[in-house]
Amino acid sequence: MEYDLLELQDAMRKVLKPKRYLHSLGVQFTCASLAMRYECDIMKAQVAGILHDLAKYYDASEQISRCEQNNIPISDIERKQPYLLHGKLAACYAKSEYGIEDEEILQAMAYHTTGKPDMSKLEKIVFLADYIEPSRRMIPGLTEIRKLAFEDLDLAVYTTLKNTLNYLKSNGQTIDNTTIEAYEYYKDIVGNK
């Protein structure tokens, strides 16, 4: 299916704050670049990239409320860390508000924050693009992951998950089980290469 990327960009410009919009454009661009590198559907990658944060502008209580209204399951950890819900909520609104029916796009959006075990190529691309896009502030390991993303998708995913877990642990934050499961899965994948 073809999508009107300019229309989606315009819609995101209207609902996202300028900095978040710039980030979403960066994710769209990075998704397209990675999709070209790994022979993934470029259009799907761009759609997921531009829309991935469309629910980010809701505050924590609003995200919980909107998930409940849309029958989106909320784990105990997500209730404590509601920022984790914006991916699921974005996927829901991409479908209901923007007519995105493609499950691969919706799943990539839903898991772009936590990752998950055995991600599809598109899911890996969106997960990485969100982490490495050009406007991201520099954090330890980012330069290495940006390089790895274009060399070895699974190793880049593993390294990103490892960095994320280290960051969350060092800040005493609660860690989503899906992220831990994803880390263990990709640790095994990378270890078997």
Segment 96-123, tens digit of pLDDT: 999 999 999 999 999 999 999 999 999 9
Neighbouring CB atoms inside 10 A of 4's CB total 10
Segments in 1-113 forming alpha helices (H): 5-15, 18-37, 42-51, 60-69, 76-80, 86-98, 103-110
Distance CA(159)–CA(190), nearest Å, equals 10
Predicted model pTM: 0.95
Q: pLDDT for 34-53, tens place per residue?
A: 999 999 999 999 999 999 99
Q: pLDDT for 134-185, tens place per residue?
A: 999 888 899 999 999 999 999 999 999 999 999 989 988 889 999 999 999 9
The chain-wide mean pLDDT, for the chain, equals 95
Distance CA(47)–CA(106), nearest Å, equals 10
- HSE toward the beta carbon, residue 98, CA cutoff 13 A: 29
Structure tokens of 10? 């315009």
Which domains occur in the chain, in start order? 5-191 (1.10.3210.10)
- Predicted pLDDT at 171: 87
